[in-house]
Each structure stands twice: as C-alpha cells, then as structure tokens.
Amino acid sequence: TGVGGRFTLADLPLRDDLRGKSAYGAPQLRVPVILNTNENPHPPSQALVDDVAKAVGSAAEELHRYPDRDAIDLRTDLAAYLSRATGVSLTVDNLWAANGSNEILQQILQAFGGPGRTAMGFVPSYSMHPIISDGTQTEWVPAHRADDYGLDVDAAIAAIAEHRPDVVFVTSPNNPTGESLPAADVAAIVRAAPGVVIVDEAYAEFSDEPSAVTLLDEYGAKLIVSRTMSKAFAFAGGRLGYLAAAPAMIEALLLVRLPYHLSVITQAAARAALQHSAETLGSVTALVAERERVVAALTEMGFDVSPSNANFILFGEFADAPATWQRYLDDGVLIRDVGLPGRLRATIGLPAENDAFLAVSEKLAATDR
C-alpha cells in the first residue's frame, strides 16, 4: 500500500551485494513481559527524568545552532565515568561518542574496513557485526566458536593467521552466549591480529572480568573498546554509544563521521543521565543477583544454561526452538530466537518479569519441549 507500492525491492537498482540480505529485525511487540533486546528493565528515576527534561529544555533554546560537532563536554563526562569504572586514566581525547554503539561500529568499519577489506568475528556473536560489515562493503569472514560456544583463543589466533582480517570483532561478554573473555586472551588476539581489533563491551558492567580498556596503553595502534549507555545505563532509547581508544584512532574516525551526528538533544540528555550514573548502575547488582536466581531455577528444572556474565542468558535444549519461542509469547513473555538450533535467549528483567518467564519455563519443563 502507499504511493509507489507496486514497486518491489527487486525493481530497485540496489547494490548487488545487498540483494537477498535481511534487515535487523528483533520483533517489537507490546506484550506484558519484554525480555528480548537486553534492555535494562529498571525505568529511569523521577530525578533522572526531571534532570533530562531540564537539560533538554535548555538545549532547545539553542536548536537554531548546530551542536558541538566534537561533543567535547559529553566525551569529557564519558572519560570521567570510564576512568572510574576501569581504573585507567582516560581523557576526552581517548573517547568518542555516536548514536548507539551500532553507529560507533559502523564508523570504525567505514575507516578501517570497506571494499577489498575483511572483518572477522567469532560466531555465534552479535548479529549486527556482519550486517554493519555488509553495509560498509567489508567482506565478513566468520570463524566458529567451540561447541559449548566458548572462544578457544588458539583456534581464534589460527583463524586470524589463516585469513589475515583487517578488522577483528571480539564481543565480551558475548551476545548471545553471555561469556566474557579474560583480558589476557584479548591481548593474545590483539597481538595476533594484523589490523584493528574491536572489543565490543556492550555488557561490560555486568561482567566481573576487567575491561580491555586496561590494554589500551600497550596496544593503542590496534585496539578499540566499544561501549554503550543502552544496557547498564538504562538509556537504550537515548541512543548513546561510545568508544575508548588511542587519540589517533579518534582522528581516523573524524574522517568518516557525519558532521553534527550527535544532536544537541542527545548530548544534553546523555550528560544529564550520566550525572545519575551511581544510582543507575545500582541496578546492575540487582540484575546480576536476578540472573543468578534465574540460572539456578532453570538449571533445577533441567534446562542447560550457558554461563553468563551479562544481563541475559542462553538456554535450551529445545527440540524446536522457534515453536518454543512462540509458546513463551502465547503466555505473554517475549524472548529471543537468535537462530541457534535448540536454544533461546532471555534478558533478565524485573523480579516479577523473571517470575513470569520462569513460570512458563516450568510449564515447558513439565511437558515435552
């Protein structure tokens, strides 16, 4: 329907390498219990909402002007947070920010990937890594994780030696499996890689492993650590991702970023939210405790649960994962079918949401699954 509705994708002069590809498409359904996109289930406090509204209100008085292209104040605040979180003294020159870490990853591939270049990831991992590679015409070279989804560092180094990728993605904690990679293993991968290594730490705050930020001083010519305010910071709707790297890396990204990519509204809202980081990050402890409760309950019911350092869990075994996904949804619980045979992923929610998820799981455990 709509004007021009008779034309299909096949009628368009689309790039050949995009034909037949699928768009990112986690279902956005309004159901009682939403546990499918690894959001923080704790809504912002009234104090945070009020401060964001005030900051956005003042920013609106300047809407006729372009924003600070380099987002200096925001990057300074992010540097202060990440220095506190990792114990590494970072400055504004070590930080870069964009509209979600997806845009961060895209900018990195625009600068370091592209036509004639390759990007390697260790799958299963975050589904956007290959999609962003496709979008930037970077050839995606998947290497496979072990059968238990753990990352065997020797196998990873062998795959890097064989394919010599220009970009390597390491996701820690890994989505959808939940496992973190120790910093020593990240360092071994960085040493083996001929090009840039992106450590995607979207879920770092939920993990007890030290951040790869601790490796930046030694490996600054190759290492980029990507982070986000979407998960622990409960700011997914605000769209704010960032990275830590050597200043020269950020100089490289300035070559590809669109000017004024972060609106004054985004910058003001993110800075106001960051002022509340102590209180927001308090939810991390609660979510980790809930994660342990959910893992124990599922294990007790006879499910196999992958060890998780994140705010979600991967579990199974199911004879038919898509059918089981639908049975959860029929009971009002939206989880994620990540396309792995026999496995589903569930985000850790509020206690009552986790109870609802566990109640459906209990029913499934009692019947055939």
* Strand-by-strand arrangement of the 304-305 sheet: 304-305, 312-316, 343-347
Q: What is the largest CA-CA distance in the chain?
A: 61
Q: How far is the CB of 170 from ligand PMP (least distance, A)?
A: 10
Q: How far is the CB of 40 from ligand PMP (least distance, A)?
A: 11
Q: Which residue is nearest to ligand PMP (CB)?
A: 100
Q: How far is the CB of 273 from ligand PMP (least distance, A)?
A: 14
193, two tokens: 């890689």
CA torsion 202-204-205-209 (nearest 10°) is: 170
DSSP readout, 136-164? TTPEEEEEEPPTTS---HHHHHHHHHHH-
CA proximity to 227, closest of 242, 216, 212? 242
Which of 130/369 has CB closer to ligand PMP?
130
Q: How far is the CB of 1 from ligand PMP (least distance, A)?
A: 31
Which of 86/177 has CB closer to ligand PMP?
177
Which of 37/363 has CB closer to ligand PMP?
37
CA proximity to 41, closest of 32, 50, 51, 54? 32
Burial class of residue 165 in the structure, from the number of CB atoms within 10 Å of its CB (0-12 exposed, 13-18 middle, 19+ buried): buried
Identify the bridge partners of residue 346 per DSSP, sorted by sequence position: 313
Residue 242 and residue 80 in contact, taking contact as beta carbons nearer than 8 Å: no
355 three-class SS: helix
Q: How far is the CB of 218 from ligand PMP (least distance, A)?
A: 24
203, two tokens: 């879920």
Which of 36/354 has CB closer to ligand PMP?
36
Question: Beta 312-316 vs 304-305: how paired, if at all?
Answer: antiparallel
Which of 38/94 has CB closer to ligand PMP?
38
Which of 172/358 has CB closer to ligand PMP?
172
Q: How far is the CB of 181 from ligand PMP (least distance, A)?
A: 13
Which of 312/318 has CB closer to ligand PMP?
312
Which of 105/250 has CB closer to ligand PMP?
105
Q: How far is the CB of 24 from ligand PMP (least distance, A)?
A: 9
C-alpha 113/C-alpha 117 separation (Å) is 5
Q: How many CA atoms lie within 13 A of 298 on its CB side?
A: 28
Residue 235 and residue 207 in contact, taking contact as beta carbons nearer than 8 Å: no
280 three-class SS: helix
Q: How far is the CB of 52 from ligand PMP (least distance, A)?
A: 17
- Which residue ranges make up the site for ligand PMP (CB under 6 A)? 38, 100-102, 126, 171, 175, 200, 202, 228, 230, 236, 241
